[in-house]
Structure 1
């Protein structure tokens, strides 16, 4: 897998990205994504003049997509600055441990620099010890918080 590459997702990748997102949700013991995830992602990634979401994919030499990372610019009120929020980073079970994670993170870091942003933030479940070790090895720091969600209606 050392010849794998990371690139921006293309419209024809979105069915596979949706499959990977479903695997990711199952891995994190979350509800599955909606069945129309691929067209929803298309709207966020390719329809607006300035995309709201960015998606990077890890592509193996045989063109199989083995993982993805998504990110979007966000704002920190406390710092009055923008940062890049990495919403998802996922690799298939067979792709883990082969250097693809660092490639995806490097691509997200490059995306932040391209956008003129100086920081990336993300979260991972507290039980995901493999991810925590990976992020620690990268030199990332963590803050204890809980994530909440509330329906708008």
Structure 2
């Protein structure tokens, strides 16, 4: 993965998450939820992420982290393979992409997306899909600059009894 051009060499990088990163990833996920005005993650997120990322021979979830020298982890992206009935094919769903306030615009967002793209290619998947709230105009401009195309849909959730 390449370094951003507007930061000193070696001061920032994107890499795969390691088990010791998970407490900080859980903190970033809580910041992400607050940013999106969503319910915060339930306690124990780092343990649940550990199971999804490292607990099986074929992990269900992938996580990449943005790291700034002298600051630590400042962002993350998560993704997992999903299915499209209409396409009759798998794609990589980017569930989260988040950089802390004050660390956006440094070139790490494109690096996180590139890490997800590389993961899709490694899995033989030809498409990445994700969503963002319609009010998140900064993210929409960012995704448009990447050349992504938007699909207008509304996302619903339905709790189960499990």
Normalising by structure 1, report the TM-score.
0.98
Query: Which residue of 124, 135, 147 maps to 2:155?
Result: 147
Identify unmatched segments of 5+ residues in structure 1: none
Identify unmatched segments of 5+ residues in structure 2: 1-5
1:92-128 Cα shifts (integer Å, max 9, x gaps): 0011011110010011100100111010000000000
The aligned counterpart of 2:3 is none
1:54-94 Cα shifts (integer Å, max 9, x gaps): 00000112260010000000000001100000000000001
| 2:74 paired with 1:66 | yes
The aligned counterpart of 1:25 is 33
Runs of 4 or more above 4 Å deviation: none
| 2:105 paired with 1:117 | no
Query: Which residue of 43, 47, 52 maps to 1:44?
Result: 52
Local SS of the residue matching 1:136: helix
| 2:112 paired with 1:104 | yes
The aligned counterpart of 1:11 is 19
1:16-68 Cα shifts (integer Å, max 9, x gaps): 00000000000000000011000000000000110000000001122600100
Normalising by structure 2, report the TM-score.
0.92
What is the distance in 2 between the residues matched to 1:105 and 1:82?
Answer: 18
Q: CA deviation at 1:149?
A: 0.3
Local SS of the residue matching 2:33: helix
The aligned counterpart of 1:132 is 140
Local SS of the residue matching 2:150: coil
What is the distance in 1 between the residues matched to 2:79 and 2:113?
Answer: 11
Local SS of the residue matching 1:95: coil
